[in-house]
Amino acid sequence: MGAVANDNRVELTVDSEVFHKAVRIIVDRDEILWLGFDPFSQIGMFQQDDVPALLAFCAGNSEYHIVTYTSSDCYVNRFVPGQQIYMLAKGDKNPYLAHNPWINPKHHLIEEDVFSQLGREPDQIRRRRKPKP
């Protein structure tokens, strides 16, 4: 898990499993068709043209909300105007939750592990050297 805070936004970046379990994006096309929508993809993605209908639906059905796939390849748990892809969700509405599939939220742990291994490598090299006769 990681967090980003700046002047315009605060986001809590979580891994895919945590994000999808909390937000519960509707990916079942039959369920979306049952709700009265016809998404352009098999996994329930909507385009900019569908935004007015999605907003009206969510205003009338408070248990649903919109998740935006932003131009920076990140899923954010809120409606962001002017993007290309939107999805319906029926879970946690926390607008600060985000998922970036290109960033591993555990990156700092992986990096720490790599640096610790690099720090040990000179000692391992020294131990393998045989003393000169």
CA distance 95 to 9: 10
Q: What is the pLDDT along the chain (133 residues), one digit of tens a residue?
A: 444 444 455 667 777 778 888 899 888 888 889 998 888 877 788 999 999 999 999 999 999 999 999 877 788 899 999 999 999 999 989 888 888 776 655 555 544 555 565 566 566 656 666 555 5
If we measure between CA atoms, which residue out of 87, 77, 78 comes closest to residue 47?
87
The model's pTM is 0.68
**Residue 59 Cα distances to 53, 98, 100, 133, angstroms:** 10, 22, 27, 83
Domain boundaries in the chain? 2-101
If we measure between CA atoms, which residue out of 105, 70, 73, 69 comes closest to residue 89?
69
Q: Are 67 and 97 spatial neighbours (Cβ–Cβ below 8 Å)? A: no
